[in-house]
Amino acid sequence: MPAIDLNGDLGESYGLWRLGEDAELLPALSSVNLACGFHASDPTTMRAAVVAADGHRLAIGAHPSFPDLRGFGRTPMALPPPVVRDDVLYQLGALHAICRAEGATLRHVKPHGALYHAVAGDADVAAAVAEAVAAFDPGLPLVVPAHAATLGVLEDAGLLLVFEAFLDRGYQPDGRLLPRGRPGAVLEDAGEIVERALSLAVDGVVRAVDGETLELRPDTLCLHGDGLRSARVARAVRDALERAGVQVRPAAGALP
For the CB of residue 243, give the shortest distance to a copy of itself in the complex, in Å. 35
Rounded to an integer, what distance in angstroms lies between the CA atom of residue 30 and that of residue 22? 13
Rounded to an integer, what distance in angstroms lies between the CA atom of residue 194 and that of residue 3? 15
For the CB of residue 81, give the shortest distance to a copy of itself in the complex, in Å. 11
Cβ distance to a copy of itself smaller for residue 126 or 128: 128
- Chain-centroid distance, C-alpha 17: 22
For the CB of residue 67, give the shortest distance to a copy of itself in the complex, in Å. 7
Cβ distance to a copy of itself smaller for residue 109 or 162: 109
For the CB of residue 97, give the shortest distance to a copy of itself in the complex, in Å. 2
b/e sequence 36-47, b meaning 16+ C-beta within 10 Å: bbbbbbeeebbb
For the CB of residue 188, give the shortest distance to a copy of itself in the complex, in Å. 20
Cβ distance to a copy of itself smaller for residue 79 or 123: 79
Question: Which phi-psi region, left, alpha or beta, contains residue 245 (left: φ > 0; alpha: ψ -120 to 50)?
Answer: left
Cβ distance to a copy of itself smaller for residue 74 or 176: 74
Query: In terms of Cα–Cα distance, which of 241, 245, 165 is closest to 205?
Result: 165
Rounded to an integer, what distance in angstroms lies between the CA atom of residue 202 and that of residue 95? 33
3-state secondary structure of 230: helix
Query: In terms of Cα–Cα distance, which of 34, 52, 30 is closest to 42?
Result: 34
Cβ distance to a copy of itself smaller for residue 81 or 175: 81
Contact footprint for a copy of itself (CB under 8 A): 13-19, 37, 42-44, 46-47, 67, 69-72, 75-79, 82-83, 86-87, 89-98, 100-101, 132, 135-136
For the CB of residue 101, give the shortest distance to a copy of itself in the complex, in Å. 4
Cβ distance to a copy of itself smaller for residue 97 or 244: 97
State phi, psi for 55 to the nearest 5 degrees.
-65, -30
